[in-house]
Structure formats: C-alpha cells, structure tokens
Chains A and B, each alone.
Chain A
C-alpha cells in the first residue's frame, strides 16, 4: 500500500496498519535545499526541489505543495513584505486603501505566483505518484482579513451585510483555487483559516460556516478530499468546524487531541496534526519529538488519524527532528521503546550510581527493550554473551529489559537514552550499534586494566599474627617485616595474644597469620543496597 493510499484510507475512516504521516513542509523545504524563503516561494523549480528533497528525507505519506497563505492575497493587491526565513507577511489591505469589492478580480491560474505553484504541483504529481499531495488554499475568513485588515472584526459587528458579501467573494476565490489544485493533481485540498481562531462560535456559525460548507461541497463535487486546518487556539469553534463537513480537520497543540478525536469520530470525520511545533519540533531534541509524536499516535489511534505537526513547520526545524517522526512512524519496536521509557520515567527515584562498578568483577549491563521481542536487542545481548567466556569468570553480564520498572530506573540512573545500550561498569560503552567482537573485548579489557591499576595503587591491609604470647611470635613477626620490606610495601602488623580473640578466629594451633585486606568502596555517599550487595559478593 502506498502512502497516498494510506492517507486516503485514513481520510475515509478505514482502519490502517500504520498511522500515516504528513510533515507540513512549507518554507522548511527551502532550508533543505539551502535557499531562503523569499527565493523558495517564488520559484517553481525550488518548490519542486524542496518538496522532493523533503520526500526523500522524511518518507511522508502526504505533503503540501506549498504552505503560503499570502499567494491569493498578493494577486488581489495586498502588498507583501518578504522575509528570509518565513513566509511573506501581508502589509497592506486593498479594501482599506479605497478599493471596492467589485474592483477585485477572481484570480486566474496564470496570475502571480499561482502559476508557478501549480506547475510545481504538476511536476510533483508526476515525480511522486505514491505520495498524497495537499493543495493549500487561504481560508475565506483569513483571506477577508488580508483584504480588509483587522477592521474585519468590527465590520462583523457593525455591518454584517457587507461582511457577508466580502466572505462570499473570498469563498469564490477559494473554490477557484481548489479547482486549480485539483486539476494540477492534488489529492487533498486543505482550507487553512487560522484567523477564525480569533472569533466566537456564534460569529463563526454566522459568517464562516456557510462559506466553508459551500467550499467543502465544491471540493467534494470535484472529486478531491478536503481538510480544514485550524492553526491556533480555536477549541471553541471545533464543533462548528466539523459542522462544515470537511473530510478532515487538522489541529495544533492549542487544542487537545483527545477532545478533537472524540468530536471527530462522533461526526464521522477524520482528524490529524498535533506534534508541538515550537517547544518540541523546533527547540526540542529527537527524544522530545519521539515522545510527543508517540503520545499523539497513541491518542489518535489507527482509525481516521494522520500524524502531522500542528501547522507549517518553522523553516529552521532541525532535519533530525522531522526524521525522528519518520523513524517512529515506521518502526514498531521504536514505538515500544519510547512508550516504555515514557511510562514511568518522570516518576522515578534515580539510584545513586556514583559507586557503581567498584566491584572486583567487571559488570557488563545490557539495556534492552526485551531481547526476546526486539531483534537489535537480541543481537546486542548475544554479542555480550559470546564475549564474556573469554574472561573466565571475571566479567559478569546482565540484561535489563526496560519493560520492567526497575530496569527503567536502572537505565535512567545510568543516563542511558537509547535502546539497546551496553554499559561497562556503569559507563555507557556502546549505543544502538552492536559492537564487533574485538571491540567489545578491547573495551572490557581496558576496564580490567584500569581496575587492576587502581587495585595496586589502593591496596591496604594488615597482618594479624596470633599466638599465645609475644615470645612465641617473635620469629614470625620479624619474617613478616622482612617480607614487606623486601616488597617495598607498608603493612601493619598486629599481634593478638588474647585467648578469647583467638577463639573467635577459630585458631587452636599457634602461631598463625591472618591477612585482612581493606578496600575503600565509597566515600561521602550512601551507596544503595543493590551496590553494597555487589561488594559483599566479593567476600
């Protein structure tokens, strides 16, 4: 099944095996091919190359042709100010500057940047038949705002009749634009109307609903699917938006996904979105992204849900963050890993691992999801298993399958972030990649050498000489002193002649020698029971 099929299935609320993924690549496409937003949105070739690059890097099931809500406005006479790293901004409003509605033409497919964007759409269609293409049009309310400026809000109140005329016009523009995109091969027409987030449900129903309903009907009749993009804090209008009968609604982090899902499924309409744009996609790291995306996927489910960023991705969104979603969407193991880690991590009491790895033996910990069900984990464990016999008992290994809480605690305490990981004496040694045998042996050997050196350095002990009286032990004591002198080592010699003490050592024949070794195991900390057990095993 192609990605396009998957998206269409989700739109039609059919159960899917894998949740489809639609990265909303706008001017971010420019970043991918090293051009600025201004050049990008004004060139058919650059849009084609940028989106193609995004398809290559992100393996999406669906993708927009362009995310540019100023295209229609520009054709209708709004002045734009271009930016290097953002879509342009509308800075003048023709209806405010004296033009009348009658003077505004319905944009033609050859006008302004419409032409080059449609050409890019056609080429993308041919080059990527398996990816669902989204044609984005400016929603009627947002376009009206471009034309009239913020006066539109008061116009709604003070002159509803005129407001309705204006919206009738912008809806006609929308229908034309939808038709052009459908003709160019787009599968989905997304009506992007972020400014509706600023109005109340009653105003929405009075002014926006009739237009939107008309627009979605038009799209349906022309054989394409439709989506209503919110982008913004519009929870108050969600019910009304579903009432406009689009095939899909896409929301951002301002609206809780579980709420939208509930309304959507009740109304038999698909839904999507919700990876956090700024704090996660733009500013977070790979782990943040996967955690957030998985949360959305688990909430959204496999019926009628499309995972996507909340809105147009900021230009500088790190490529690896977007790829992190791709990886997650396609990798069930990874989903399990992220899920297991997420589950309890926040509530964990981390162990104090400062003194971990001070035992005589070298301890190799393999942190896995579960070596029985996760192939990479299995290989990692096997690699360790194969190597340990070489060390004839001085290396001990254990698997920590993080499906169990204590293993998650252990993993977090060692600051391990990836699965599978090998730690040697509590230090992260191999992450994700299964080490070749000789590398693993070398790493363990290195640790053994370190420990040996440390041991020689830190050796301290005492010799207890036991006897009935001092006289009996004199010769023995002088031998001991000579021996330690010859070895160049400081050693305490203690004479014990007390009968009761002799008895506690179980000594009947004298003279006798007991060697007591002292070794510093921790200082200034309170090692956990787990760690102390390791030491006790040495006795």
Chain B
C-alpha cells in the first residue's frame, strides 16, 4: 500500500491527473492520481492515509518547488487539478467524518480588488495540505469575512490583494475582523504586500508564496 501512496504523491507532484491527460509528456499513457486513488480506496486503504501519505505529500512537494522558483503557476495548477480530481474519491469519507480536516481557512480577495490568481493558488495549496477552504471570491468586504468567521469558529483568514490601492483596504478588514472576533488569526499576501506592511496593519502572518502560508497554518494547529 505504501508504494501506492508514493505513486499518488508522485502524480500530484508532477500534475498527472488521469490516464487521458497528456501532461506531463513523460507520463503520457499512464494512469494518474485519479485512478490510483480509486485503486487505493478499493483495496481497503484508510482514506485518511490516502490523503496524508499520498495527496498531501505531493502537494507539499510542489509547494516547496514553487517557493524555490523551480516551478511556476502552470505546474502548480496541474498539481492542484490532479489533487482535486483525486479528492472526489475521498469526498464521502469527509462527509461521514471518517477523515477529519486540520482546520478551516477562509480566504478572499479584499474589497475593490478583482484579481484571483494569487488567491486561487493559495486556496489550492492550503486545500492540498488537508484544510477545509472556504473561498469567498473577489471583492470581499469586512462584513462577508466576519460572517464567514462566525460560521467557522476558530478558522484562519487569508486576505489577498494585487493592487496598491486595495492593499490599503486590508488594514480596515484586519481591524474589523479582529474587533468583531478577537483572536482570529489573519494571513495576508499579494504582489504589493510585504512583511513591513503586515507589521503596520497588525496582521498575523505574511508570506510571499503559498507554501509559507501552508507552513504557518500547519504550525498553528500542530
């Protein structure tokens, strides 16, 4: 079984979705994360093991490569697609409670900003590390964030911004969330954002890459 988990991790890492997918070229004609996950479940593997020893391992590997500039957005998207296709087979076990999430991560691009590539990447990576992700989309105001936090007590919140004009809105949103639900941990990210800016607006964490956010979340629930 361990060997199968390794294969699943490998497929996720290299973005091999299923048999039909032509990518990556050197795995053409082989089965992908989709088939292998089904195979593992059918063979009686613990769904939790499939997730933690297979899918999550693959996502973490691609996350680290992305952080180190060894791969870029297209490769990560392929991995994420492989992951989410495989996750379909695990869905029933999540619903029944056989597999537990590490925590909930609420994410959105802040009010005034319609960019979502960065937010989507973070969302996929966090999902890939075993968290439940609640994606509020783009142009999200304080009120929507606060409602989501109330629905998911103890969740983490991620704010994304691509514009210099909207990063300014982050400050208000961070303050609003922390006033409404003290103790909520807020992570920020996006092209114009920096560690200095994080300090300035009293957010809890900044990372220039998704993997940083994943590591922070894992540390926080460990």
Residues of A near any B CB (own CB < 8 A): 81, 83, 85-86, 89, 91, 150, 153-154, 156-158, 198-200, 203, 232-233, 235-236, 277-279, 282, 314-316
**Which of B81, B116, B117, B164 contacts A154, CB < 8 Å?**
B81
Q: Given A158-B22, A278-B192, A279-B194, does the pair A153, B73 have CB atoms closer than 8 Å?
A: yes
Complex interface: chain A residues within 8 A of B166 (CB): 86
- Contact partner of B71 among A150, A200, A233, A235, CB < 8 A? A200
Number of A-B contacts (CB under 8 A): 65
CB of B22 within 8 A of CB of A198, answer no
Choose among A158, A278, A315 the residue that contacts B167 (Cβ–Cβ < 8 A): A278
Which single member of B22, B23, B165 contacts A315 (CB below 8 Å)?
B165
B192 touches A157 (CB 8 A): no
B74, B81, B165, B167: which has the most chain A beta carbons within 10 Å?
B74
- Of the candidates B81, B114, B116, B196, the one having the most CB atoms from chain A within 10 angstroms of its own CB is B114
Bound-state Cα–Cα, A316 to B165, Å: 8
How far, in angstroms, from A232 to B197 measured CA to CA in the complex? 18
Known: A153-B77, A154-B77, A199-B72. A89 touches B192 (CB 8 A): no
A-B contact pairs, 5 of them (CB 8 A): A91-B114, A154-B78, A200-B71, A236-B69, A279-B197
Residues from 12 to 58 in B contacting A, C-beta threshold 8 Å: 15, 21-24
Which B residues are CB-close (under 8 A) to A235?
69
- Interchain CA distance A157-B28 in the complex, whole Å: 12
Take A157-B23, A279-B196 as given contacts and tell me if A200 and B72 are in contact as well, using a CB distance cutoff of 8 Å.
yes
Knowing that A157-B15, A233-B191 touch, tell me 17 more A-B residue pairs with CB under 8 angstroms.
Answer: A86-B163, A86-B166, A89-B114, A91-B114, A153-B73, A153-B74, A153-B77, A154-B74, A158-B23, A200-B71, A203-B72, A203-B74, A232-B191, A236-B72, A277-B192, A278-B167, A279-B196
Task: Say how far B211's CB is from chain A's closest CB, in angstroms.
Answer: 15
Q: Say whether, besides A91-B114, A157-B78, A158-B21, A198 and B72 are in contact (CB < 8 Å).
A: yes
B120 touches A81 (CB 8 A): no
Q: Across the interface, do A282 and B15 meet the contact criterion of CB distance under 8 Å?
A: no
Nearest CB in chain A: distance from B124 CB, A = 11
Whether a CB of chain A sits under 8 angstroms from the CB of B115 is yes
Chain B residue, CB-CB nearest to A81:
B114
* A278-B194 Cα distance, complex, nearest whole Å: 10
B112 touches A (CB below 8 Å): yes
Report B42-93 residues with CB < 8 Å from chain A CB: 69, 71-75, 77-78, 81
* Contact residue among A157, A236, A277, A315 (Cβ-Cβ distance under 8 Å from B74): A157
Contact residues in B for A282 (Cβ distance below 8 Å): 164
Pick the contact of A198: B114, B117, B165, B167 (CB < 8 A): B117
Task: Output the nearest chain A residue to B120 by Cβ-Cβ distance.
Answer: A150
- Which 8 pairs from chain A and chain B are nearest by CB? A198-B73, A314-B164, A153-B74, A200-B72, A89-B114, A157-B23, A278-B192, A153-B77
A346 to nearest B CB, angstroms? Answer: 16
* Least Cβ–Cβ distance between B72 and chain A, in angstroms: 4
How many Å lie between the Cα of A198 and that of B15 in the bound state?
17
Nearest opposing residue in chain B for A315, CB measure: B165
Within 8 A of A (CB), among B183-199: 191-192, 194, 196-197
> A233: which B residues are within 8 A, CB to CB?
191
In the docked arrangement, what's the CA distance between A342 and B165, Å? 30
- Nearest CB in chain A to that of B80: its residue: A154
Q: A199-B72, A199-B74, A236-B69 are in contact. Are A150 and B117 (CB under 8 A)?
A: yes
A232, B120: Cα distance in complex, Å: 18
CA A86 to CA B197, docked complex, whole Å: 20
Q: Which residues of A contact B78 (CB under 8 A)?
A: 154, 157
Partner of B165, one of A81, A158, A279, A314: A314
A residues in contact with B117, CB < 8 Å: 150, 198
How far apart sit A192 and B21, CA to CA, in the bound complex (Å)?
33
With A83-B112, A91-B114, A157-B23 already in contact, the answer to whether A200 and B74 are too (CB < 8 A) is yes
Kindly name the residue among A83, A158, A277, A315 whose own CB sees the greatest number of chain B CB atoms within 10 A.
A158
Give the residue of B21, B114, B116, B165 whose beta carbon is less than 8 angstroms from that of A85.
B165
Q: How far is the CB of B135 from chain A (nearest CB, A)?
A: 14
Report B-chain residues with C-beta under 8 Å of the C-beta of A199: 72-74
* B22–A200 CB distance below 8 A: no
Query: Which chain A residues lie closer than 8 Å to B191 at the CB level?
Result: 232-233
Question: In the complex, A81→B120 CA distance in Å?
Answer: 20
Q: Which single residue of chain B is at the shortest CB-CB distance from A91?
A: B114
Bound CA span A235–B23, Å: 26
Give the chain A neighbours of B72 by CB distance below 8 A: 198-200, 203, 236
Chain A neighbourhood of B69, CB < 8 A? 235-236
- The CA-CA distance from A83 to B73 in the complex, in Å, is 27
Q: How far is the CA of A375 from the CA of B189 in the complex (A)?
A: 48
Report how far A158 CA is from B69 CA in the complex, Å: 22
Assembled-state Cα–Cα distance A232/B72 (Å): 13
- Closest chain-B Cβ to A256's Cβ sits at a distance in Å of 14
B contact residues around A314 at 8 Å (CB)? 163-165
Find chain A residues with CB under 8 A from B196 CB.
279
Residues of A within 8 A of B115 (CB): 89
Cα distance A153–B74 when bound, in Å? 5
A81 to chain B, nearest CB (A): 6
List chain B residues, Cβ under 8 A from A203: 72, 74
Instruction: Kindly list chain B residues whose C-beta atoms are within 8 Å of the C-beta of A85.
Output: 165
Question: Considering the chains assembled together, what is the distance between the CA atoms of A473 and B22 in angstroms?
Answer: 116
Question: In whole angstroms, how far apart are the Cα atoms of A417 and B120 in the complex?
Answer: 45
Q: Which of B23, B73, B120, B197 has the most CB of A within 10 A?
A: B73
Shortest distance in angstroms between B64's beta carbon and chain A's nearest beta carbon? Answer: 15
| Cβ contacts under 8 Å, B163 to chain A | 86, 314
Closest Cβ of chain B: how far from A80's Cβ, in Å? Answer: 10
Residue numbers in B under 8 Å from A315 (CB-CB): 165
User: What residues on A are CB-neighbors of B164 within 8 Å?
Assistant: 277-278, 282, 314
Kindly list chain B residues whose C-beta atoms are within 8 Å of the C-beta of A153.
Answer: 73-74, 77
Distance of A282 Cα from B196 Cα, bound (Å): 14
Among residues of A, the one whose C-beta sits closest to the C-beta of B23 is A157
Q: In whole angstroms, how far apart are the Cα atoms of A139 and B197 in the complex?
A: 30
Q: Are B75 and A86 in contact (CB under 8 A)?
A: no
Q: How far is the CA of A282 from the CA of B197 in the complex (A)?
A: 13
